[in-house]
Amino acid sequence: MVTTDRPRVGVLALQGDVREHLRVLTDLGADATTVRRPEELATVDGLVLPGGESSVIDKLSRAFGMREPIREAIAGGLPVYGTCAGLILLADRITDGIEGQQTFGGLDVTVRRNAFGSQVDSFEVDLDVPVLDDPPVHAVFIRAPLVEEAGDGVERLASLDDGRIVAVRHGALLGTAFHPEVTGEHRFHALFLDMVRERVR
């Protein structure tokens, strides 16, 4: 039986930095597990879409029969947190996807893939995230996307100094353009677990 103290949270394990998310979620007290098949998705209270290559995860999700179950779960209110590639997969719209690239959707945003350039253009910055209080979040951007437009109902959680949006929340969906799981920053995952526990209640 699932309890609100130890919710069962899956990490989509088709490609990307799966282990890092599992470690953070476990450290925060969740029952963290990998998800590769629809029957595994059906057992979790929340889902993390990890960083990686969004076009590859998209193709593998279709090959594994996961795309429609995830879309249906999102439509049904399943809390989902996407980091970097995961944010792209949550977006309703992509401005520069590869030919035929699809997303799971659900998040009313337009996202640009690789908005900051290639791997060599990766950078780190401290972000003010009022919903997480102090101190600032040390964020790592690796071939990161960017939220170019956000719908009226989307909460803008963090922006760069020039105003470009890099973290959002809308209902049960949370997305960051960066990788908190690789810097020891656990507060976004903790926020997500609060969202999961709220749904379990």
Per-residue pLDDT tens digits for 136-193:
999 988 888 999 999 999 999 999 999 999 999 999 999 999 999 988 899 999 999 9
**Residue 40 a catalytic site member:** no
Statement: residue 119 has pLDDT above 80: no
Task: Convert the pLDDT of each residue in 19-49 to its tens digit.
Answer: 999 999 999 999 999 999 999 999 999 999 9
Is 24 among the domain residues? yes
Which position among 181, 185, 189, 198 bears the catalytic label? 181
Q: How confident is the model at residue 96 (pLDDT cuts 50, 70, 90)?
A: confident
Q: How confident is the model at residue 121 (pLDDT cuts 50, 70, 90)?
A: low
Which position among 20, 21, 179, 189 bears the catalytic label? 179
Statement: residue 118 has pLDDT above 70: no
Is 124 among the domain residues? yes
Name every residue whose Cβ is closer than 8 Å to that of residue 49 and which is 6 or more positions away in sequence.
12, 57, 80, 81, 82, 83, 85, 86, 87, 89, 90, 104
Is 1 among the domain residues? no
**Residue 39 a catalytic site member:** no
Model confidence, pTM = 0.94
Statement: residue 3 has pLDDT above 70: no
When the pLDDT of each residue in the chain is averaged and rounded to a whole number, the result is 93
**Residue 181 a catalytic site member:** yes
According to DSSP, residue 100 is labeled T
Count the domains in the chain.
1
Is 32 among the domain residues? yes
How confident is the model at residue 1, as a pLDDT?
Answer: 42
Which position among 20, 21, 39, 84 bears the catalytic label? 84
Q: How confident is the model at residue 114 (pLDDT cuts 50, 70, 90)?
A: confident
Statement: residue 4 has pLDDT above 90: no
Return the CATH number at 78.
Answer: 3.40.50.880
- Regarding beta strands 107-112 and 146-150, do their DSSP bridges make them parallel or antiparallel, or are they unpaired? antiparallel
- Tell me which residue range forms the domain holding 80: 8-200
Q: Are 39 and 73 in contact (CB under 8 A)?
A: no
Q: How confident is the model at residue 116 (pLDDT cuts 50, 70, 90)?
A: confident
One-letter amino acid identity for 24?
Answer: V
Is 175 among the domain residues? yes
